[in-house]
Amino acid sequence: MQVKDKTVVITGGGNGMGREVVLNMLHKGARVAAVDVNGSALEETKRLAGANADRLSIHVLDITDKDAVFAFPQIVIAEHGSVDIVINNAGIIQPFVRVNDLPYDKITRVFDVNFFGLLYMTKSFLPHLLERPEAHLVNVSSMGGFLPVPGQSIYGASKAAVKLLTEGLYAELRHTRVHVSIVFPGAIGTEITRNSGVDVPNMAAGVDAKKQAARTTSPDKAAEIIVNGILKNKNRIFVGGDASFLDRLYRLAPTFATNFIAGKMKDLLK
């Protein structure tokens, strides 16, 4: 699907991978409605858009507010005239603790943002996407949505729900003009931990920050992979060699893969 002159809605557009997808889409000639709960972060995205900012609108929106989300498509259509692509990118992680130690308010918050917010956006915009000559719905899951990660079990459950919901949408919409893609990012060099209000005990675990950064995919590279996947109408988009490798490993040897990841994460749960 070509994106030039199309209108793209992107949640989590104020930072990290979402911001880079906004900038990439603008560079390719799209009109973009960037959504985030953080207004100052959106302003920075607009500043970084430079000469392309005339095709960008920014919208402060809490995607867990169902009524506000259901009113949002008309705001975008009034601004841009149509909606062709929706990218549900916004998400948060949980504190790095076992399920037994995770308070219910944290559990609810993770599901409200990662699953219900995405569901509200999907149900709000899908009727409009179905009216377009060609459209695309893109939902961002996670490597943790198909592979259990100790200390992120609730986060993983929310992303697994996104995975199955999106696969169901693909099956339901495969004879329509709406393409459906699911994105599986691996380790991305974003500030999702800080934006989620989570501390990661890297130093206590003896993790070298430079080595850790070298093992991640940069947000701009991640955005390039996602946008190229949209251009090719790919159903499954893996971001990073770690995501594609672990997908294959988990399908081939799930118990081995689970134990492998558990061993890598054990220091974070001490």
Residues with a catalytic annotation lie at 155
DSSP 68-126: HHHHHHHHHHHHHS---EEEE-------SS-GGG--HHHHHHHHIIIIIIHHHHHHHHH
Q: How many CA atoms, within 13 angstroms, populate the side-chain half-sphere of residue 138?
A: 33
Coil vs helix vs strand at 205: coil
Q: Residues with Cβ < 8 Å from 232, sequence gap 6 or more?
A: none
Distances (CA, A) of 168 to 174, 180, 238, 267: 10, 10, 18, 36
Report d(CA 177, CA 174) in Å as an integer. Answer: 8
Give me the amino acid identity at 152: Q
- DSSP category for residue 269: G
Residue whose tokens read 């959504």: 35
Nearest to 161 by CA among 138, 139, 193, 190: 139
Q: What is the CA radius of gyration of the chain?
A: 18
148 close to 156: Cβ distance less than 8 angstroms: yes
